[in-house]
Structure 1
């Protein structure tokens, strides 16, 4: 398990919580590597099964017009290679169009279906709230991904009468314990993971997405600095790198049916 580096206000205690499976939903290829690749590397190193679901094909990304004809294939290849670097081989795709993702029932149903199939301990996704301090975190597809997954997590995943055709197909309702968000407004972040041992794996994964980086050196400087600042914010020793999350308990000791 990754080290719990948070203060007592964190709802998730990595020293006591048992995590066996994690399912990550992000809008585009590379989102998960920027947001959580260090934590994912720590999870997989500890034997946790991690799966990805990439909701759009990333077809509007990139900078080189030469790549347009094969951008979908290129970005899928990049994501597969990046995932392998942090121990992930199970990748699912919804194949929505980049820039057009919406929290529609068609999308939410697919999310519910995958969560019920895999039955993870943690679902990790983008934050549905716009971040006015760093607007780049709040691409419309990021917000739509977070909203779709949040609507799926509660109440649809645990309601046997939501999308009844799923239950009829054998996918029973499931109560998810934890929902983790990346790309969160700073005021929402309540859990930090010390990823100092996995910084290079994270950066290696991000570098794989070469089609998205016109200035690799600048990207690396920014990512390293942000992780150190996260470490400072949660009181870790100087120079420690951390990833930040907004963690929500969906079903725990304080919840009862329907509340």
Structure 2
């Protein structure tokens, strides 16, 4: 059986993590748009403020406010209305206990069926996918998902404040090395929404047409690689079932 079967594994609520504003829009916004159109509640959590991004020196004083606004606009274009910002510094993200505590807190607040995050493994075929903050995002979220989210004695002050531990079913990781991808989503019908989300990040795209051509070509290549057809577009993920019916903690 496949790692994930939409007919067998209904999704009602999803929490998506990105290291920077725009990461989710590159990696997963077509899938997010498909979820929200189907009635799934999706929330975003952006871990850094993206303060080291952009190209125009004139934007430095206002870049954080710009990138927050861009991400909120991008999220709305794919049906997402709740965006959490953790406020970490761009380029300095680490899977520290301070960061893990923030992640566990948000996951326990939302209590999703799926947590979606960046992949913690470096992709040597295109190093730009493996920005250190991307890897730190994936590592921190993976560490938070197991065991801290489900352990009431991890960050006990969260449990005491009413954020009760629970067992997460699914972890979806985007930006994975090709060998790790085990699930693809056809985003042909939501690709325009994905492009609209990416266009919202005006501070990050000195050449919008080139960016769009790259995203379309990459989505077409993923659809072909995963057997969806040469006229389709796709996003691909490494899907991990964290807690199955037969899962025993620690084994």
Same fold (TM over 0.5): yes
Indicate yes or no: 2:17 matched with 1:39: no
Match of 1:167 in 2: 159
Q: What does the per-residue CA deviation read over 1:39-93, in whole Å, with 9 as the maximum and x for residues that have no partner? A: 0000000000000000000000001111111000000000000100000010001
Rounded to whole Å, the distance in 1 between the matches of 2:87 and 2:41 is: 23
Indicate yes or no: 2:60 matched with 1:76: no
Indicate yes or no: 2:150 matched with 1:190: no
Indicate yes or no: 2:3 matched with 1:22: no
Q: What does the per-residue CA deviation read over 1:204-228, in whole Å, with 9 as the maximum and x for residues that have no partner? A: 1101101101111111111000101
Rounded to whole Å, the distance in 2 between the matches of 1:197 and 1:190 is: 21
Rounded to whole Å, the distance in 2 between the matches of 1:79 and 1:238 is: 31
Shift in Å, 1:137: 0.5
Indicate yes or no: 2:104 matched with 1:117: no
Query: How many residues are aligned here?
Result: 251
Rounded to whole Å, the distance in 2 between the matches of 1:191 and 1:54 is: 23
Could you tell me the TM-score, scaled by structure 1's length?
0.95
Residue from 227, 237, 257 that aligns with 2:249: 257
Match of 2:91 in 1: 99
Gaps of 5+ in 1: 1-7
Rounded to whole Å, the distance in 1 between the matches of 2:199 and 2:117 is: 21
Shift in Å, 1:26: 0.7
Shift in Å, 1:231: 0.6
Indicate yes or no: 2:187 matched with 1:208: no
Greater displacement, 245-254 / 188-197: 245-254
Shift in Å, 1:238: 1.7
Rounded to whole Å, the distance in 1 between the matches of 2:7 and 2:28 is: 19
Residue from 123, 131, 137 that aligns with 1:131: 123
Gaps of 5+ in 2: none
Rounded to whole Å, the distance in 2 between the matches of 1:257 and 1:34 is: 34
Match of 2:230, SS state, is coil
Rounded to whole Å, the distance in 1 between the matches of 2:134 and 2:32 is: 19
Shift in Å, 1:253: 2.4
Match of 1:4 in 2: none
Match of 2:239 in 1: 247
Match of 1:223 in 2: 215
Match of 1:80, SS state, is helix
- Give structure 1 regions of 4+ aligned residues with deviation exceeding 4 angstroms: none
Match of 2:15, SS state, is strand
Shift in Å, 1:254: 3.3
Rounded to whole Å, the distance in 2 between the matches of 1:168 and 1:15 is: 37
